Amino acid sequence: MRIEVIHPKDGMKYLICVMALVASMCSAALAGDFEDAGTLFNNKNYIGAAEAYRKAAEQGNAPAQYQLGAMYYHGQGVQKDYGEALSWYRKAANQENALAQVSLGIMYINGQGVKQDYAQAVSWLRKAANQGNAMAQANLGAMYDNGQGVKQDYAQALSWYLKAANQGDDLAEVNLGMMYVNGHGVAEANQDAVLWFRKSAEQGNALVELNLGLMYDKGQVGVPQDYVQAAYWYRKAAEEGNPLAQFNLGFMYDKGEGVTQDNQQALFWYRKAAAQGNAPAQYTLALAKSNLQSDAQERPVAAINEVLAEGRLQFERSDISRNIPSCATCHGADARGRTNAPLLAGQNAAYIVKQLNLMAKQFRNSRTMHGTVTELTRQDAVAIAEYLQSK
């Protein structure tokens, strides 16, 4: 179980003019183009910035080549074009531009504009990592961790994660925490794991905050169950607009877990989540399953029946096109469980939704279930959960 680090931080732009470092190659006019481009970029004049970067890039300026590549990659000021991105990144990378090297590595990992090639990715990441680039170090660590493009080597993974984490890379910090949870390359040590998870979450990455909340909520991945802590981290992610965190926080107010029970707060967070299309929140509001509405008359019966029918279908049939097997084959047609697969009938719907989510994200380590549940949409999960609860 691990969290992969494979994406460059969005919008990451280094607009530092490094002309001084490559003075022999640069004329004053060139430096002017590069600086102009930075100003234009900061003013969100992307078309102008792309043109200015192109001028400098065509004359061999490596930071400009990187920037132009990034603009092609994101489709800013130019038509998005991975081929062009790759070509400009490569020019800059060959001039030892670390940002271009890591970007190139990531394109090889993702197979963007080029055939996926982990060995090539590792080679570019290593160059940038050796120059001290934290994102490259984090990604190189992940390649060693996963054994992609390089022989799996936890000691190497640990060492690169540490280098990146010591520079404050939030995703490396999470992965480092996972090394401690799994005892990979280090002795298993939950306290150390939590320490790194918290360090990462404290940087304000909503996804990491959400996941730390999930860990405390279920008492998993090396942290003791603690609803107060769960609510604390959910709130952070919820305030940053993460819909699942908003739903979970609403749920905690609804049930009075980790917070004082408060219907108004529960409603507030459910509505926020629902407005972002969070299906559990929408259903919770619509079905009035919580104690928020006492009037049973208001339950939309048709909507309930529709959801239950949908859930039953999902549970019983396999969906070959999406590679989702029939849940009934393992859990039994009546959902009463068999050999290893647990009883599901009658379990709380919100609990089931949460379990499916945890297993999909691999925060609940279940080898059998992981492959099955990653393809489920949230709506599928809610429908199945409502159906199971009703049985």
CA 252 – CA 259 distance, rounded (Å): 7
Contact 144, 157 (CB under 8 A): yes
Q: Are 143 and 172 spatial neighbours (Cβ–Cβ below 8 Å)?
A: no
Given a contact cutoff of 8 angstroms between Cβ atoms, the answer to whether 124 and 8 are in contact is no
CB of 2 to ligand HEC, least distance (A): 17
Long-range contacts of 201-205 (CB under 8 A, 24+ apart): 201/233, 201/236, 203/168, 203/170, 203/173, 204/236, 204/240, 205/170, 205/171
Exposure on the CB side of residue 199, measured as CA atoms within 13 A: 21
* Distance (Å) of CA 105 to CA 29, 87, 147, 166, 340: 32, 13, 15, 22, 42
For residue 264, state whether it binds ligand HEC (rule: CB under 6 A): no
CB 353 to ligand HEC: min, Å:
8
Q: Could you tell me the smallest distance in angstroms from the CB atom of residue 214 to ligand HEC? A: 14
Contact between 304 and ligand HEC by CB under 6 A: the answer reads no
| Binding segment toward ligand HEC, per CB under 6 A, in 107-115, 146-154, 280-288, 328-336 | 328-336
Backbone angles phi, psi at 192, to 5 degrees: -65, -40
Binding of residue 125 to ligand HEC (CB under 6 A): no
From 28-36, 72-80, 136-144, 319-327, span contacting ligand HEC (CB under 6 A): 319-327
At closest approach, how far in Å is the CB of 366 from ligand HEC? 3
Query: How near is the Cβ of 219 to ligand HEC at its closest, in Å?
Result: 13
Scanning residues 342 to 371, which ones bind ligand HEC (CB under 6 A)? Answer: 342, 344, 352, 355-356, 366, 368-369
- DSSP single-letter state for residue 377: -
The distance of closest approach from Cβ of residue 221 to ligand HEC in the complex, given in angstroms and rounded to an integer, is 13
Is residue 182 involved in binding ligand HEC (CB under 6 A)?
Answer: no
If one counts every other C-beta atom within 10 angstroms of the C-beta of residue 47, the result is: 12
Q: Nearer to ligand HEC by C-beta: 48 or 332?
A: 332
Q: Which of 331, 361, 362, 378 binds ligand HEC (CB under 6 A)?
A: 331
Are 90 and 84 in contact by the 8 Å Cβ rule? The answer is: no
Query: Taking the CA of residue 208 as centre, how many other CA atoms within 13 Å lie in the half-sphere pointing to its CB?
Result: 23
Which lies closer to ligand HEC via its Cβ, residue 242 or residue 389? Answer: 389
Q: Does residue 332 belong to the site contacting ligand HEC (CB under 6 A)?
A: no
Does residue 372 bind ligand HEC (CB under 6 A)?
yes
Q: Report which of 181, 297, 278, 200 is spatially closest to residue 238, judged by C-alpha positions.
A: 278
Which of 114, 186, 308, 330 is close enough to bind ligand HEC by CB under 6 A?
330
User: Residue 4 carries which side chain, given as an amino acid letter?
Assistant: E
> Can you tell me whether residue 50 is helix, strand or coil?
helix
Out of 39, 203, 329, 377, point to the residue binding ligand HEC (CB under 6 A).
Answer: 329
Cα 32 from Cα 27, distance rounded (Å) = 9
Q: How far is the CB of 368 from ligand HEC (least distance, A)?
A: 4
When the beta carbons of 117 and 316 are compared against ligand HEC, the nearer one is 316
Q: Which is nearer to ligand HEC, 48 or 371 (CB)?
A: 371
324 makes contact with ligand HEC (CB under 6 A): yes
Of 18 and 313, nearer to ligand HEC (C-beta) is 313
Q: What does R_g of the chain's alpha carbons equal in angstroms?
A: 25
Binding region for ligand HEC (CB under 6 A) out of 11-19, 53-61, 287-295, 336-344: 336-344
Burial 97-127 (b: 16+ CB within 10 A, else e): bbbbbbbbbbbbbeeebbeeebebbbbbbbb
Q: Does 325 bind ligand HEC (CB under 6 A)?
A: yes
Site residues for ligand HEC per CB under 6 A = 324-325, 327, 329-331, 340-342, 344, 352, 355-356, 366, 368-369, 372, 376, 384
